[in-house]
Structure 1
Amino acid sequence: MITPVELSGSRKTVFQEAWWLQAASGGALESIAINWGGSDVASLSFVRKERPLGIRSLVMPPYTRTLGPVLSLPPSTPSRHCANLRRVAAEIMLKLPRHDHFSLRLDCEDETAFAFALAGCSVSEQFTFRVEADADPVKLMERADRSTARLIRAANRRLKLHEHADFGRFVDVAYRHHPAGRNSHDFQVLERLFAASTARGQAIILGLTDAQGRDAASVLLVWGHGVLYYLVPHRDRERSGGDANALLLWNAMEFALDRGLAFDVDGYHSVGTASFLSSFGFPRHIRHVVTHCSLRGALLRTLQGWWRNREVRDLRPDPLCGVQMGNARLPQRFGQEARPQGQTVKKVQGAPPAASRDETPRTPKERVSQ
């Protein structure tokens, strides 16, 4: 006999809580519900954004790292459960307001990605690193890269860990990380989220101070439904040093495990950050990204992406990245591969053959005499 299955409530995340979504959206939240036989079996929240060129977007509220439909499906067999997921995803897409762009980033344990793909959405992958709640810190340290372990031990000798709930103190460190002109954080939204989370005992700020008691680095942590997220980290570039990031991340992981919570590093935004996080040896997990665009939305977003990146010429590539943006050697390499075999480069008149050139540096006097 096949045992019926039911989507467990433990799959819900802190980012799907009504209080979080209201605080993140500032009251601009909209929701749709899917009703079967008089009972709501699914709901999805989003905010509307008017983008440049008139693109109508339905997106997640700020600082909401993952967001998928909240499901209350009836018990069923595995095959019926999959069919129910497909039906829910199809009805959600039909019930959404008219839009040019729709986007969700699903949690690692969300199982609706396949259903959204069958409902006409594009599904791509992003990654995060997550440590389970029963992990052993000693074994985790053994898995870490040796240089990263040395950074953690070195920072631990000169920096001291503090826990506090002073949001203004956190903002001060943030502005020392990125000045006001370059800081893109919305601290009003962050303060609302921090206040709502601390009121429920689900947030804290971890800080590292130097020998003089000055803040060198800090991170805002939030948790719920068994997972703690490394939400927003900042550091004072002059006081922190290169090892403060490693120690702060490690201390946050230990903070989570001490409280029986899984630890999620909350993704990454660059190849360099991904390489840094990989050095800890934490397990990688997939976050599926669901998008749906109208023809108009797809064309306008493509034009916007081209316009923003048209002058990207001087980006310094990450040394571990296989794709080197703005690197002149890359098109040269493509040109060499495209050149037919046997074809030689035209010689410049008067230039000596490469093989006959003397590689020994000469003084100006020697070059004149030659």
Structure 2
Amino acid sequence: MTEYEVVALNSSEYESWDSLVERSPQGTIFSTSSWLQATGCDFKIYGVYQNKELIAGLPLGVRKLPLGLKSGEHPPLTPYLGILHEPCETKYISQISKEKEIQTILAPMLKDQYDRLRFQVHPSVVDLQSMIWAGYSSSVRYTYILHLDDLAQAWDEMEKRRRNDILRAERDNISVVKSDDFDGFFELVQKTFHRQKLHAGFRKAAFGIHALLKNRKQSQIFIASDGQHRPIAGVYIVWDHRRAYYLLGGYDPAIAHSGASALAIWKAIRFVSEELRLSEFDFEGSMMPAIELFFRKFGGRLTPYYSVSWARPSLDLALHLRAALRRLFRRGG
């Protein structure tokens, strides 16, 4: 096996890391050091060196668990992480062999440093065999990716009812504008969660990410309003040099219109194609049935990607024991 060195990068090495992210076929905005910092969470970036050159790596959010345990996972609002590799110009067999070697080195090292690991790899990653052989589990997830080389064709391939929703919203004087009001947009996000009796617990990360990307001109808010200028729906997209991503959406059920969200997304898609000149729009995860159905109707290609996980066998037992003891002490008090 080739000689590799794995180190946890320090901040002086982040520039080299970000350069690798930009070059790597698996690289996205979500793996950059600035994104990880903007989430407000602790994180580590593990760099893999060969002959003193950074050739691969893995970023991870770090979260402390009870009992002094530690989890390596995704920070909030970060759909893809996983192992990144430099572009490979050698034979396919050489590329796969090198990726397996790097996985073989990282897999036990990560187990030594964490009690639980969970991360989702980029859709272009198809080989996780070395991680599986090392005791990790993998499961498949799905997103929809809309290809925008021909916007007219993208419109034609959209489900007819989705096109009708968009056209009806326009007839009903629903207008969509680009906005800088992240506070107002996030109110729509919170209303969506409240309607489902859920809590939007990622507020800090959302505002940190927006503060970063607003300055870098890598994000945009789209707000759909009715004829009385009342916000009904909102969409928040981010992008890198390859594609745009639907990161957040919100809706006010008190001013309902079935086409408002669809129109806002369509305006965002047009913006990505016509102004950013990017060829892909990633709906970024479609695992909940209702959300999957809504995104499916836009005509994107169903695209699988993998989730990787591992937990120390004693982890669940320790956490369950802790919870049981806490319940016992509460009753005794």
Q: Deviations over 1:209-243 (max 9, x none)?
A: 11011111111110003111110100111113222
**Match for residue 277 of structure 2?**
260
From 243, 251, 255, the counterpart of 1:235? 251
Q: 2-side partners of 1:303 and 1:268: how far apart?
A: 35
- Partner SS for 1:109: coil
**Match for residue 261 of structure 2?**
245
| Structure-2 change in CA distance of 1:168 and 1:115 (3 Å) | same
In the TM superposition, what is the alpha-carbon distance from 1:131 to its structure 2 partner? 1.2
In the alignment, is the contact (CA less than 8 A) between 1:218 and 1:233 conserved in 2?
yes
Is 1:168–2:183 an aligned residue pair?
yes
Residue type matched to 1:147 in 2?
Answer: R
267-276 vs 217-226, which deviates more? 267-276
| Structure-2 change in CA distance of 1:123 and 1:177 (3 Å) | closer
**Match for residue 228 of structure 2?**
212
| Structure-2 change in CA distance of 1:139 and 1:23 (3 Å) | same
In the alignment, is the contact (CA less than 8 A) between 1:124 and 1:289 conserved in 2?
yes
**Match for residue 221 of structure 1?**
237
Q: 1-side partners of 2:243 and 2:319: how far apart?
A: 34
Q: Deviations over 1:300-335 (max 9, x none)?
A: 79999xxxxxxxxxxxxxxxxxxxxxxxxxxxxxxx
- Partner SS for 1:127: strand
**Match for residue 7 of structure 2?**
none
Q: 2-side partners of 1:14 and 1:282: how far apart?
A: 21
In the alignment, is the contact (CA less than 8 A) between 1:42 and 1:73 conserved in 2?
no
Q: 2-side partners of 1:144 and 1:203: how far apart?
A: 24
**Match for residue 13 of structure 1?**
28
Q: Deviations over 1:173-200 (max 9, x none)?
A: 2233344974323222111101111111
Larger relative strand fraction: 2
From 102, 108, 123, the counterpart of 1:108? 123
- Partner SS for 2:113: coil
Is 1:202–2:218 an aligned residue pair?
yes
**Match for residue 82 of structure 2?**
68
From 174, 184, 203, the counterpart of 1:187? 203
**Match for residue 160 of structure 2?**
146
| Structure-2 change in CA distance of 1:9 and 1:184 (3 Å) | same
In the alignment, is the contact (CA less than 8 A) between 1:106 and 1:288 conserved in 2?
yes
In the alignment, is the contact (CA less than 8 A) between 2:121 and 2:305 conserved in 1?
yes
| Structure-2 change in CA distance of 1:65 and 1:302 (3 Å) | farther
**Match for residue 281 of structure 1?**
299
From 313, 316, 320, the counterpart of 1:295? 313
From 270, 277, 282, the counterpart of 2:288? 270
- Partner SS for 1:211: coil
In the alignment, is the contact (CA less than 8 A) between 2:220 and 2:237 conserved in 1?
yes
Note the 1:79-158 alignment, pairs <5 A. Answer: 79-96=93-110, 97-134=112-149, 136-157=150-171, 158=173
| Structure-2 change in CA distance of 1:276 and 1:301 (3 Å) | farther
- Partner SS for 1:31: strand
Q: 2-side partners of 1:210 and 1:32: how far apart?
A: 48
What TM-score, normalized by structure 2, do the two folds share?
0.80
| Structure-2 change in CA distance of 1:117 and 1:101 (3 Å) | same
The percent of aligned pairs where both chains have the same amino acid is: 22
- Partner SS for 1:254: helix
| Structure-2 change in CA distance of 1:46 and 1:74 (3 Å) | same
In the TM superposition, what is the alpha-carbon distance from 1:286 to its structure 2 partner? 0.9
In the alignment, is the contact (CA less than 8 A) between 1:152 and 1:246 conserved in 2?
yes
In the TM superposition, what is the alpha-carbon distance from 1:298 to its structure 2 partner? 6.0
- Partner SS for 1:291: strand
In the TM superposition, what is the alpha-carbon distance from 1:114 to its structure 2 partner? 3.9
Residue type matched to 2:97 in 1?
Answer: A
Note the 1:42-81 alignment, pairs <5 A. Answer: 42-51=56-65, 56-72=70-86, 75-81=89-95
Residue type matched to 2:308 in 1?
Answer: V
Matched residues, number: 297
In the alignment, is the contact (CA less than 8 A) between 1:25 and 1:62 conserved in 2?
no
290-299 vs 268-277, which deviates more? 290-299
| Structure-2 change in CA distance of 1:300 and 1:77 (3 Å) | farther
Q: 2-side partners of 1:58 and 1:178: how far apart?
A: 26
In the alignment, is the contact (CA less than 8 A) between 2:48 and 2:56 conserved in 1?
yes
Q: Structure 1 regions of 5+ residues with no counterpart?
A: 1-6, 305-370
- Partner SS for 2:49: strand
Q: 1-side partners of 2:238 and 2:58: how far apart?
A: 22
Q: Deviations over 1:113-161 (max 9, x none)?
A: 3443344321211000001231x33323332322222111111222101
Residue type matched to 2:292 in 1?
Answer: A
| Structure-2 change in CA distance of 1:175 and 1:275 (3 Å) | closer
